[in-house]
């Protein structure tokens, strides 16, 4: 086994530069940032000058669109330059102050632009189509401009639009409180493990210990209690934060004449409500493969009692570490089926200051990829050398490549792909990685670990995210019905749903029903998580098309897939997926993933029996 590079740093300064973000790609210095900040204020005043002129000519409308685009391009850079730096240094109060400064600037957009949508809507649709047909520069904005007529009944008049905009900064506060409570002000606990060592149980340390076969169940129990006790002690605060977020969602939905928060979330991208409801129904009725897998784990591990914190250890004696540089090589090789051009762009991404790799004190936990149009995506990791994080690397690089291809191909107005297709590229890359590693390993233990990783990927991305979506739907529905929300109700709701999805295979602890306190998507991106499941089903179908059939069929499927990534947000996501070969209005895509999981669990059981012999 190769010697691991250091992955635990006492300070950010210790981390080599090649493993950290290069912020100068956005701005060379704070003076350049300040210049764009002031330019945004000037753009806002310029936008106001167009009031009352939009319906007079296509030229006036085009001037507004160009000014808005100029403003938004700068806004992305101004925000992300501060946000990214704050992400890796959440304790820096100067950066926090600048984030608030940016937030106040953005909050000012609403009142001064509230007139735009009503004035645009007043232009007859036939006139708008004529202008677009006869003005090539305006045609760039065709999808955006024509879609507003579909949403006409939800457009507020200027007076109401301005009133609602005044509350935008306030409605975002609960999410900021969650971030402060969970990252900046959090104090993780120290525990003593069975070997006498003492550790502070951060999310990263927790993942390392619960995934290590060298650790005992008692060690896993200790770190589980230490981590969740931090959140458990603040359960009432988390409940108040979440209630504030959902109440804000409901207020905004009603203000814009939506019947529910879900309708408000889906209609913008023209997603049928049945896609969401049927996803939950189909998955909830087909949880047997998940419970079969946990029964198998309990048997193989020889545990008298099986807990949730036993879910990350390998079923075999496999605790291999994957140094980051090795993981990059593996992931790079795995994407070759997508072509050398795709692979080349991925190599650039991993070697050019686009990735922030290791955990450091004050750095936000988790992983993400976020783009800056005209610059490049920035990708956050807290890499810990586990097999799981090799897959996380592949996953986030899928997002990064999606953003890169969209930004290279689309104009700014249609570059931003919707959340509904966002997880297709990431889960597609995970499947490529699984195939590559299964085909290159000669270690039977690693094969079992990889099958386990694949199964866990389906459970975590498809089943668990559907369960989270179920939870969000139930809580939002309670608020919409005027029912009370508190820590006890949220905990009971979580427990009831968890029992439906996972049965009684897993033993309960004092903290079993409190994961709702620490799932960032609930607080930062309501009604986001269901799309992990729909995207997983989509990527599974697209992967099959790209890797099976005749050479001609595979090449045509690959072309459709790359076109999907390049298309950004130039059409409704359901239509984009249909063009690529996926129809999510039918249950077959969901059932195919469920059947795939069932087969993988059976295959895993067979591999384990072979190893015993």
The DSSP-derived string for 521-570 is: HHHHSTT-THHHHHHHHHHHHHHHHHHSS-HHHHHHHHHHHHHHHHTTTS
**Confidence class for position 6, pLDDT limits 50, 70, 90:** low
Reply yes or no on whether the pLDDT at 212 is more than 50: yes
Spatial CA neighbour of 310 closest among 328, 286, 293, 288: 293
Average pLDDT of span 263-284:
92
Structure confidence at residue 349 as a pLDDT band (50, 70, 90): very high
pLDDT of 169 reads 63
Start-to-end Cα distance in the chain: 26
**pLDDT value of residue 176:** 85
Q: Can you read off the two tokens belonging to residue 316?
A: 């075999």
Nearest to 315 by CA among 305, 303, 304, 300: 300
- Least confident range from 84-93, 311-320, 523-532, 553-562: namely 311-320
- Segment 63-81 mean pLDDT: 96
> In 3-state terms, what secondary structure has residue 260?
coil
CB burial class (10 A; 0-12, 13-18, 19+) of residue 424? buried
Residue 5 confidence (pLDDT): 47
CB distance 521 to 468 below 8 Å? yes
Give pLDDT tens digits for 394-435: 999 999 999 999 999 999 999 999 988 998 999 999 999 999
Cβ neighbours, 10 Å, residue 328: 22
Contact at 8 Å (CB) between 533 and 469? yes
The pLDDT score that the predictor gives to residue 300 is 92
Contact at 8 Å (CB) between 463 and 501? yes
pLDDT tier for residue 166 given thresholds of 50, 70 and 90: low
Separation CA 362–CA 364 (nearest Å): 7
How does residue 184 score in pLDDT terms, banded at 50, 70 and 90? confident
Q: How far apart are CA 574 and CA 557, in angstroms?
A: 17
Residue span(s) of the chain under CATH 1.20.140.70 come to 12-171
Q: Which two tokens stand for residue 273?
A: 């409500």
| Rounded Cα–Cα distance for residues 443 and 424 (Å) | 30
Q: Which pLDDT score is estimated for 211?
A: 83
Q: Confidence band (pLDDT; 50, 70, 90) for 351?
A: very high
Residue 3's pLDDT band, with cuts at 50, 70 and 90, is very low
Q: CA 320 to CA 385: how far, in whole Å? A: 8
Give yes or no for residue 46 having a pLDDT over 90.
yes
Fold of 185-352+386-613: 1.10.1370
Is it the case that residue 2 has pLDDT exceeding 70?
no
Q: Are 419 and 360 in contact, with CB atoms under 8 Å apart?
A: no
Query: Phi and psi (nearest 5°) for 507?
Result: -70, 150
Q: Which residues have a catalytic role annotated?
A: 396
Range(s) of the chain covered by CATH 1.10.1370.20: 185-352+386-613
Which CATH number does 12-171 carry? 1.20.140.70
Paired residues of 380 in beta bridges: 356, 368
pLDDT band at 219 (very low <50, low <70, confident <90, very high): very high
pLDDT band at 114 (very low <50, low <70, confident <90, very high): confident
Identify the pLDDT of residue 365: 87
Q: Facing residues of 198 across strands?
A: 192
Strand partners, 191: 199
Q: Is the pLDDT of residue 168 over 90?
A: no
Whether residue 345 has pLDDT greater than 90 = yes
Return the biggest CA–CA distance within the chain.
81
Assigned token pair, 404: 């890169």
Distance between CA 513 and CA 529 in Å, rounded?
A: 18
Average pLDDT, the chain: 92
- Tokens representing 95? 């950066």
Tens digit of pLDDT for each residue in 449-493?
899 988 998 999 899 999 999 999 999 999 999 999 999 999 999
pLDDT at 591 over 90: no
Residue 151 pLDDT > 90: no
Burial of 482 (0-12, 13-18, 19+ CB in 10 A): exposed
């Amino acid at each position: 086994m190769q010697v691991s590079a250091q992955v635990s740093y006492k300070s950010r300064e210790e981390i080599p530069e090649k493993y950290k973000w290069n912020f100068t790609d956005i701005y060379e210095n704070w003076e350049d940032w300040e210049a764009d900040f002031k330019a945004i204020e000037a753009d806002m005043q310029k936008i106001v000058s167009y009031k009352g002129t939009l319906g007079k000519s296509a030229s006036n409308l085009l001037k507004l669109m160009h000014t808005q685009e100029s403003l938004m391009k700068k806004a992305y850079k101004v925000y992300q330059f501060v946000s990214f730096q704050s992400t890796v240094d959440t304790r820096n109060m100067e950066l926090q102050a600048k984030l608030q400064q940016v937030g106040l600037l953005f909050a000012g957009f609403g009142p001064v632009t509230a007139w735009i949508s009503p004035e645009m809507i007043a232009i007859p649709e036939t006139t708008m189509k004529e202008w677009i047909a006869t003005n090539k520069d305006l045609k760039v904005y065709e999808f955006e401009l024509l879609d507003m007529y579909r949403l006409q009944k939800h457009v507020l008049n200027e007076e109401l639009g301005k009133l609602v905009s005044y509350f935008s900064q306030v409605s975002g506060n609960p999410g900021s409180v969650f971030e402060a409570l969970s990252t900046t002000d959090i104090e993780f606990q120290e525990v003593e493990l069975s070997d006498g060592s003492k550790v502070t149980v951060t999310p990263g340390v927790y993942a390392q210990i619960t995934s290590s076969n060298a650790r005992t169940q008692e060690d896993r129990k200790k770190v589980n209690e230490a981590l969740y006790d931090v959140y458990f002690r603040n359960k009432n605060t988390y409940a108040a934060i979440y209630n504030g977020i959902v109440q804000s969602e409901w207020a905004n939905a009603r203000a814009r004449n939506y019947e529910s928060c879900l309708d408000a979330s889906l209609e913008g991208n023209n997603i049928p409500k049945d896609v969401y409801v049927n996803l939950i129904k189909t998955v909830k009725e087909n949880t047997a493969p998940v419970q079969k897998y946990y029964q198998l784990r309990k048997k193989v591990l020889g545990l008298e009692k099986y807990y949730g914190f036993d879910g990350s250890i390998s079923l075999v004696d496999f605790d291999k570490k994957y140094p980051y540089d090795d993981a990059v090589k593996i992931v790079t090789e795995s994407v070759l089926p997508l072509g050398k051009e795709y692979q080349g762009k991925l190599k650039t991404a991993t070697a050019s200051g686009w990735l922030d790799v290791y955990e450091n004190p004050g750095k936000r936990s988790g992983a993400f990829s976020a783009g800056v149009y005209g610059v490049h995506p920035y990708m956050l990791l807290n890499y810990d050398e586990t097999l799981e994080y090799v897959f996380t690397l592949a996953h986030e690089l899928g997002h990064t490549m999606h953003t890169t291809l969209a930004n290279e191909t689309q104009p700014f107005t249609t570059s931003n792909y919707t959340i509904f297709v966002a997880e297709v590229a990431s889960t597609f890359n995970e499947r490529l990685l699984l195939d590559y590693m299964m085909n290159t390993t000669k270690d039977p233990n690693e094969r079992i670990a990889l099958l386990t990783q694949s199964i866990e990927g389906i459970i975590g991305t498809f089943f668990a995210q559907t369960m989270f979506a179920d939870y969000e739907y139930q809580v939002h529905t309670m608020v919409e019905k005027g029912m009370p929300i508190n820590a006890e109700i949220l905990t009971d709701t979580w427990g009831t749903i968890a029992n439906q999805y996972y049965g009684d295979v897993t033993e309960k602890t004092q903290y079993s029903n409190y994961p709702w306190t620490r799932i960032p998507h609930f607080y930062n991106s309501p009604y986001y998580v269901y799309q992990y499941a729909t995207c997983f089903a989509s990527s599974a179908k697209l992967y099959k098309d790209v890797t099976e059939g005749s050479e001609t069929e595979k090449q045509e499927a690959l072309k459709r897939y790359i076109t999907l990534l390049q298309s950004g947000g130039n059409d409704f996501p359901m239509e984009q997926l249909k063009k690529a070969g996926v129809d999510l209005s039918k249950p077959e895509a969901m059932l195919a993933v469920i059947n795939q999981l069932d087969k993988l669990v059976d295959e895993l059981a067979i591999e384990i029996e072979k190893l015993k012999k």
